[in-house]
A and B are shown apart, each in its own frame.
Chain A
Amino acid sequence: MGLTEKEVEHLAGLARLKLTPGERQMFTSQLSEVVEYVAKVQSLNDKVLEQEAAASAELRPDEVKVWPQADELVELAPGQRENLITVPEVFSDRE
């Protein structure tokens, strides 16, 4: 049960990955092969296993802890101004 190129294009769109036509073709056959292989997991019966008690992650108290190097994080961005990270406008389909 392989993938079509159209499906791969859709997945690439969802994952925000720009693919060349060559990549799209290559990934279609490669992903189809892998999907076929991993489908093996479907042959395992839905046995009722002794359910392990879901490990509840130990959560810390919901207290704000200021991380002292926030300005370093802003400096790391590809573009910044007045302690803000600059980005292209979100609604870019406006005229």
Chain B
Amino acid sequence: MPDSQEQITAEIVESHRVYAKAREESGQESRHVLRDFAPYRSSILRHPKQPLVVAGDPEAVELTGPVFGVTDVTALDSDLTRQHVGEPMGERITVTGRVLDRAGRPVRGQLVEVWQANAAGRYAHQRDDHPAPLDPNFTGVGRCLTDGDGRYAFTTIKPGPYPWRNHVNAWRPAHIHFSLFGTAFTQRLVTQMYFPGDPLFPYDPIFNSVPDEQARQRMVAAYDHDLSVPEWSRGFTWDIVLDGAFEGEHR
């Protein structure tokens, strides 16, 4: 018998309460996600139970990382509305921001990858078989390299929310999946960008797997009216900060 939304919401609220109490007592803020977050049922058997082992090697290979260049992307990759013969259905948007390391320095010339559902909330993926229309003019995959300021920019359509089977009546808030590289393999990040004011936030166990409210807000883009283009597109900004040690960090 699948769980109800009421059950999942109760578990989320309890988990956040436990976190808030621990934060108050220890003064320690959690800046990341909890890998062990039972309201997201698929995480139960897919998180390690042993503590992570500190690598503790200043010469670790992971302190360097893969590089990408102009041969790895094409100009059309960053405009998800122009990858087919016709225009996709939906609200045209631009999403831009900077990729920074934890010291606030721009990550330059690195690969940013995105993927998302179409305006109806359907992925161009065989495993997404829920009854919303596919869009022949939208695949939902983009790539770009960050520029000299660490900036990325995509033109796309606003993805729709979509149902999933974590529990009865489970709906994901609209989101764009992001994959990011830093200068070191330790800085690798895969995350999701959300849209401001989504009414589905309190119901979603994935969004709420980040226990700290301020940390959750760092996954939410801002609407930026100055980036909107008259009679064409609405603009969103979202900066991304990569964690993890890297070679030369303390120089």
B is bound to A: no
B interface residues, Cβ below 8 angstroms from A = none
